[in-house]
Amino acid sequence: MAQGMRDNGTGVRADAEAAAAASLDESSRRASHPDLADLDRRIVLATQGGLPLVARPYAVVAETLGVAEAVVRSRLVAMLADGRIRRIGAVPNHYAIGYTANGMSVWDIDDAMIDAVGMRVGRLDFVTHCYRRPRHLPDWPYNLFAMVHAASREAALARVEDIAALIAAEYPGACHRRDVLFSAGILKKTGLRIGGGAVSYTHL
């Protein structure tokens, strides 16, 4: 995809440079127009559980909120541009498509190199989540977390070995120890939800 464009897979497509420029005064616009802040929250509530599976999902959202479809789309573009929402896209059930081995690899990385190592590991295509978190010594020495998914435990462990090889090659001596925590079962899995007035489209 061209670098200047953002396509979120659901029809929201915006020129990134124009959106970024427009976002410079977005905060002041919201401050001077409190109704915008209220509308943005209502749009988030109406979309956070998923978009309706219809030909024009934003039209349905707009009808639910009592505004024009173009307003919903423009507000989503603005929220994407200023970072209040990160992306709009399909979220696959990785278990249903065969990725049943979920390994959270944990790493004891030298503090002087943690940021560089974390950014590098986070750029790997097969790493879905990458976090820096505090150690809890003496029991928990790990300060970098990187999640990998695979069809088998062996394949997941091979991915972790790839990470280890990369760190050893590019950041010699940075990693002191590591481990992998595999999921035994899902008790709950959902994204962040803000409360109050969430909308369901399961009836459509």
Indicate the domain borders of the chain.
5-81, 101-182
**What CA–CA distance (Å, rounded) separates 199 from 42?**
9
Does CATH number 3.90.550.10 belong to domain 101-182?
Answer: no
Give the model's pLDDT for residue 15. Answer: 40
Q: How many CB atoms lie within 10 A of CB 101?
A: 20
Distance (Å, whole) CA 160 – CA 179? 9
Task: Kindly tell me if the per-residue pLDDT of 19 is higher than 50.
Answer: no
With a cut of 50, say whether residue 6 has pLDDT above it: no
**Global pTM exceeds 0.95:** no
Instruction: Give the pLDDT confidence of 134-186 residue by residue, as tens digits.
Output: 999 999 999 999 999 999 999 999 999 999 999 999 999 999 999 999 988 87
